[in-house]
Amino acid sequence: MGAQLPAGAASWGPDDVILYHLGLGAGAAPTDPNELAYTYERDLKVLPSFAVIPVFGALAGLGGLDGFDVNFAMLLHGEQDIEIHAPIPVAGEVSTTSRITDVFDKGKGALVVLEATSTTPDGEELFVNRFSLFIRGEGDFGGESGPAPGNPAPDRAPDVEVERPTLAQQALLYRLSGDKNPLHADPEFAELGGFDRPILHGLCSFGIACKAVVDASLGGDVEQVARYQARFAGVVFPGETLVVRQWRENGRIVLDVQTKERGTPVISNAAITLRSI
């Protein structure tokens, strides 16, 4: 805990943004102006969840940390929290500093929190990511268990509910944005992790849910998102449909996600905090 990871730099352009959006299923209605805003460079906008892409390489630094000797096949993404301090540009570059802020004992595993702060060349803090990584089989070491999950779903019918189908090849497409974990492509590696076939990236479901909220509750305005917190509650197999339920609550959109086919939770304890305008 407290370890600093090597600093990193990243840049992106319109093609990277479009590829990311396509990896989330954008453009399913290819002539819809709302979808073209995600997939065509003329009036391109950037989903706030794109903030996970320029910093994803920071996770590679975990393998070089003293004491972090784990089986990466047992690593699952537990939670993700992003704070967006300014609209993400269509083309840009950032430098990122990362550190381990917490290590929690969850009994069946350890939860390691990596905070990555990204700044532009002129020193502006653009976004902050907090990756909470659940490592199965590494718990029971006598540490603190950490805070209870927040952002519970209200006890009432959702204000908005939308369905978002995924493609059978969704994980193969999403991985081109940088997450090459074989858990999402290689059946043999997935079996080592306890799955009978590759699963969809948690951050892909995270992005799909973000887009569903922006489109269905925020009129497509990506700049209204100031923070997005989510807990990964279950797996998605490519080809399944995600049901995204949304509640407007005190300047936030609280949301959860389930699979339509199995009725199993995917994302829980999630909220998008709206920017004061």
Residues marked as catalytic? 179, 184
- In the 3-class helix/strand/coil scheme, how is the chain assigned residue by residue? CCCEEEEEEEEECHHHHHHHHHHCCCCCCCCCHHHHHHHCHHHCCCCHHHHHCCCHHHHHHHHHCCCCCCCHHHEEEEEEEEEECCCCCCCEEEEEEEEEEEEEECCCEEEEEEEEEEECCCCCEEEEEEEEEEEECCCCCCCCCCCCCCCCCCCCCCCEEEEEECCCCHHHHHHHHCCCCHHHCCHHHHHHCCCCCCCCCHHHHHHHHHHHHHHHHCCCCHHHEEEEEEEECCCCCCCCEEEEEEEEECCEEEEEEEECCCCCEEEEEEEEEECCC
Tokens of 86: 């300014």
Dihedrals phi, psi of 5, to nearest 5 degrees: -95, 160
* CA–CA distance, 83 with 66 (Å, rounded to integer): 29
* CA–CA distance, 88 with 86 (Å, rounded to integer): 6
* CA–CA distance, 243 with 226 (Å, rounded to integer): 23
* CA–CA distance, 266 with 241 (Å, rounded to integer): 11
